[in-house]
Amino acid sequence: MTKLRLAIVGAGPAGIYAADILLKAEKSFDVSIDLFEQLPAPYGLVRYGVAPDHPRIKGIIGALREVLDTGRIRLFGNVLYGRDVTLDDLKAHYNAVIFSTGAVRDADLDIPGIDLPGSFGAADFVSWYDGHPDVPRDWPLEATEVAVIGNGNVALDVARMLAKHVEDLLPTEIPANVHEGLAASPVTDVHVFGRRGPMQVKFTPLELRELGELRDVDMIVHDEDFDYDEASKAAITSNKQVLVIDKVFSQWRARETGAASRRLHLHFHAKPVEVVGESRVEAFRFERTEPDGMGGVRGTGEIREIPVQAVYRAVGYFGSPLDGIPFDEKRGVIPNREGQVLDDRDQQLYGVYATGWIKRGPVGLIGHTKSDAMETIRHVLNDQANWWSPAHPDEQSVVDLLDERGVEYTNLNGWHSLDEFEKSLGAVAGRARIKVVPRHEMVRVSRTAV
């Protein structure tokens, strides 16, 4: 039976789904899969990109864990591609590699003042409140009034985490340093700005509904934003999700406000123009827009300004280049055709594949990565004639390579040890889990099982 030795770089949902699909679909190959992850723990954005008060989405971890616990996949955590292993290393030990490294950087927003002190990328803030080991332990939560630019789920997550009273986060796995930081925040008003109208938002009804359930937070919307054009009216009648969003907004518009200690303002038809300030953020300036009759918006020339002391841009994620792999600097993805990586001449780079956000960009929910992975795996299997011929295909050779280089890698048993350790920390405090944040501590706990 033909042996397929496959490396997958990135142990988030995209990489784990790809491994699962291959193992379930392929009976004619003897399949051996190694997952390489730069962090000491698996699960990627499910662990480090989903707000801690989203337990339903966190439940995806249970399904991913079942895949890893089949015993048919090896995990090498705390291994950075390009430093600890290279493309040449992978060619020497595997028949092919799939990159599933995702998109974790903030997309740029090219407006004046965006680099002022007090202006942040949402992805960095999300990494902080999710306890990512590679971001600073402290976050400068000094503003009473905050602007969040964007109309997707990440923008709502950021706004909710800023406006929510920290004691309401205690039942979650929020790290101790994050609790301390949010507890000291003086915030009273969070403003969320979207360029288009309320029926063209990118967030889901569930996210919006959860936003309105915050304790002691008034939801502020403005009647001028709800003078719908024909396109918005048509969307309400033809799309169930848009209908639900409209109902949620209608309920908010009928609410009494003024009694809460914090306010969350939603501003639509607001195109970012400038972050205003001398030495740091002082205000956010935007242009009022209107429907253009073709599903988009156009500027009206009316400029407005709201005083804020901090700005968070949540305008999308962006992929990062990988050593030896082509990269589309404009789109932030690996150039590919249905997951087959392409070189600068638009020719297939044999043995190299992509899946997830590094393949298609940061669009779609986590579940969409399954169909994406199926497409990539189909090409991996059909390309057998062009697989690499590794000089060291035996499984032990990879372990020996990492040991020789002194890489403090973690494995699946190590993740189980860290998982149980975090749960034990939570049990002491009456919580489900408290995340370990420092990388060296994650590695120490995990390596006890290696």
For β-strands 119-121 and 310-313, DSSP reports them as: parallel
Does position 27 have pLDDT exceeding 90, yes or no? no
Residues 100 and 139 in one domain: no
CB-count burial class (<10 Å; 0-12, 13-18, 19+) for 166: middle
Mean pLDDT of the chain: 94
Q: Is 379 exposed, middle or buried (0-12, 13-18, 19+ CB in 10 A)?
A: middle
| 145 and 269 both lie in a single domain | yes
212 inside domain: yes
Q: What is the CATH number of the domain that holds 277?
A: 3.50.50.60
CA 12, CA 22: separation in Å to the nearest integer?
A: 16
Res. 58: pLDDT tops 80: no
Range of the domain at 197: 108-317
Average pLDDT over residues 351-359: 97
- Whether 180 and 312 share a structural domain: yes
Is residue 313 located within the same domain as residue 323?
no
| Domain end marker among 266, 288, 317 | 317
Q: Are residue 133 and residue 253 in the same domain, yes or no?
A: yes
Q: Are residues 309 and 368 in the same domain?
A: no
Is residue 377 assigned to a domain? yes
pLDDT in tens, 217-227: 999 999 999 99
Work out the burial of residue 444: count CB atoms within 10 Å of its CB; fewer than 13 is exposed, 13-18 middle, 19 or more buried: middle
Q: What is the total count of domains within the chain?
A: 2
Is residue 313 domain-shared with residue 198, that is, in the same domain?
A: yes
pTM for this predicted structure: 0.93
Residues 143, 89 share a domain: no
Does 426 fall in a domain?
A: no
Q: Are 270 and 286 in contact (CB under 8 A)?
A: yes
Asked whether the predicted pLDDT for residue 422 surpasses 80, the reply is yes
Same domain as 349, residue 312: no
Q: Are residues 296 and 177 in the same domain?
A: yes
> Are 30 and 95 within 8 A, CB to CB?
no
In a domain, 441, yes or no: no
Domain shared by 136 and 206, yes or no:
yes
- CA–CA distance, 66 with 75 (Å, rounded to integer): 14
